Amino acid sequence: MTDGAAAQASERELVLIEFDRLNRDQKYDFAKTISGLSVSRRSKADELENAVREGLRNAKVDYAKLVRFVAEQAFLGRQHVWPSTVPSTVNDLWKDPAEVRRKLTADGHDVLGMDEPIAAPRDLSLASVSHDGTVFEITAAGRRTTRRRNHDEEARLQSQVADGMTAVVYETIQIRAWVRLRWNVLSGTADLHIGQLGRDSDYGEVLTQFLDLLPWLPFGHFVPLALSSVVHKLHVQAETEQNGGVKGETRLQGVNYDTGGVRSTHRSRASDQSVVADHADVVNALALLRKHGVAARGNCWWRPNGEGGIPAAAVLRLELHTDIAAEYDRVNLKRPVSADELEFLLARLRALAI
């Protein structure tokens, strides 16, 4: 779906695109268990997709159930998370669901208890607001226009470009966007999640749009988790492991200097001499990187099965790749996760931030 088609994409089309991105087992669960369609356990992914589409056409599939299912699966997909803590002076005011309902209603915001199967409206819209006495949860959904590489088209065009040149093709697409805030009023912790968006997307803009829907939410009082402390401790673990100590709970990716594909190796004349000893600006830049860069960003893989000495990591079925961007107060999850994996990661971040 390119340019003009993207602009005309219906909400149903976007929901079906998101459904197509799910794994085969998820598609089977919806088709068979939730919708009761006559599909085989051995059905292929595309067969399940076609069965659901046909079910929508003949009303055997409930569209609202499809929207809810896609939304629930998306919450465990690739995403960015802003973990924070809520001061007790603020948190205590939002513990009682009845009091929260009274407060919101009195202020003209009768939203507690809403639960709408929001698909992908053009503007970010509230989908649900709930409070069970433990978790105060708010979700919203919308759509975003973004770009992605079209590798099939690149391959087709490659034979037509001059020698030494590479065909690069981007297409404009629309995707379903979602935001979810989970505020645990018993622990005074909150995590704001935004689903992975496309290339060049502005997550800050989406966050602002979400907060604009909630003028009553005391988000300005939430205190971002000290992610720089988390990254620093992970680097200390890595250094300990490198020096023959215990294995760290993550594998860290080092800093990569991209110079357009050109690689240069330099050696100093003496083992204790810097290769950039005569370039004060480079020396200072490297010193700043060690002091601030390492403590600001962490591209790492969390080791599974308790390999890093953390028993709770047994919930990780495979390595979990995250990019901890402390300067933006957020963590990017690079792969879909289970609910247990997400809970484990957030717990480790909070433990390391202390």
Q: Give the model confidence (pLDDT) of 234-255 as tens digits.
A: 999 988 988 899 999 999 875 4
- For residues 239 and 298, state if they share a domain: yes
Of 46, 74, 102, the position where a domain reaches its end is 74
Long-range contacts of 49-54 (CB under 8 A, 24+ apart): 49/16, 49/19, 49/20, 52/16, 52/19, 52/27, 53/16
User: Does 261 map to a domain?
Assistant: no
The reported pLDDT for the residue numbered 101 is: 98
Residue entry with tokens 């939430």: 222
The reported pLDDT for the residue numbered 242 is: 85
The reported pLDDT for the residue numbered 332 is: 96
User: Does 56 map to a domain?
Assistant: yes
Average pLDDT over residues 169-181: 89
The reported pLDDT for the residue numbered 286 is: 52
Q: Give the model confidence (pLDDT) of 205-219 as tens digits.
A: 999 999 999 999 999
- For residues 217 and 84, state if they share a domain: yes
Residue with the larger pLDDT of the pair 261 and 347: 347
Contact (Cβ atoms closer than 8 angstroms) between residue 85 and residue 190: yes
Of 74, 92, 110, the position where a domain reaches its end is 74
User: Does 321 map to a domain?
Assistant: yes
The reported pLDDT for the residue numbered 150 is: 83
The reported pLDDT for the residue numbered 129 is: 98
- For residues 220 and 231, state if they share a domain: no
Of 49, 74, 99, the position where a domain reaches its end is 74
Does pLDDT of 46 surpass 70?
yes
Average pLDDT over residues 263-275: 42
User: Does 184 map to a domain?
Assistant: yes
- For residues 203 and 218, state if they share a domain: yes
Average pLDDT over residues 336-353: 96
Domain enclosing residue 59, as ranges: 3-74
- Which of 290, 281, 317, 287 has its CA nearest to residue 302? 317
Average pLDDT over residues 14-30: 95
Say if strands 330-333 and 79-85 run parallel, antiparallel, or are unpaired. Answer: antiparallel
Residue with the larger pLDDT of the pair 199 and 258: 199
Radius of gyration from C-alpha coordinates of the chain: 24
User: Does 64 map to a domain?
Assistant: yes
- For residues 298 and 322, state if they share a domain: yes
* Residue 256 pLDDT grade (very low, low, confident, very high; cuts 50, 70, 90): very low
User: Does 243 map to a domain?
Assistant: yes
- For residues 206 and 83, state if they share a domain: yes
User: Which CA distances in Å does 35 have to 52, 82, 209, 343, 349?
Assistant: 9, 35, 34, 29, 38
Contacts with 184 (C-beta within 8 Å, 6 or more apart), sequence order: 134, 135, 190
- For residues 57 and 94, state if they share a domain: no
The reported pLDDT for the residue numbered 271 is: 37
Average pLDDT over residues 128-156: 91
* Percent of the chain whose pLDDT exceeds 70: 85
Residue with the larger pLDDT of the pair 268 and 346: 346
User: Does 272 map to a domain?
Assistant: no
b/e burial code for range 136-170 (CB count within 10 A of at least 16 → b): bebbbbbbbebeeebeeeeeeeeeeeeeeeeeebe
pTM (predicted TM-score) = 0.81
The reported pLDDT for the residue numbered 162 is: 80
User: Does 346 map to a domain?
Assistant: yes
* Residue 347 pLDDT grade (very low, low, confident, very high; cuts 50, 70, 90): very high
Give the separation between CA 51 and CA 33, rounded to whole angstroms: 13
- For residues 205 and 84, state if they share a domain: yes
- For residues 91 and 219, state if they share a domain: yes
Question: Number of folded domains in the chain?
Answer: 3
Q: Give the model confidence (pLDDT) of 274-325 as tens digits.
A: 445 556 666 566 555 545 554 456 899 999 988 888 888 899 989 999 999 9
Least confident piece of the model among 71-80, 137-146, 170-179, 322-331: 170-179
- For residues 60 and 135, state if they share a domain: no
Least confident piece of the model among 26-40, 186-200, 218-232, 275-289: 275-289
- For residues 138 and 194, state if they share a domain: yes
Q: Give the model confidence (pLDDT) of 143-161 as tens digits.
A: 988 787 888 888 888 888 8
- Which of 354, 317, 349, 353 has its CA nearest to residue 336? 317
Does pLDDT of 265 surpass 50?
no
- For residues 250 and 220, state if they share a domain: no
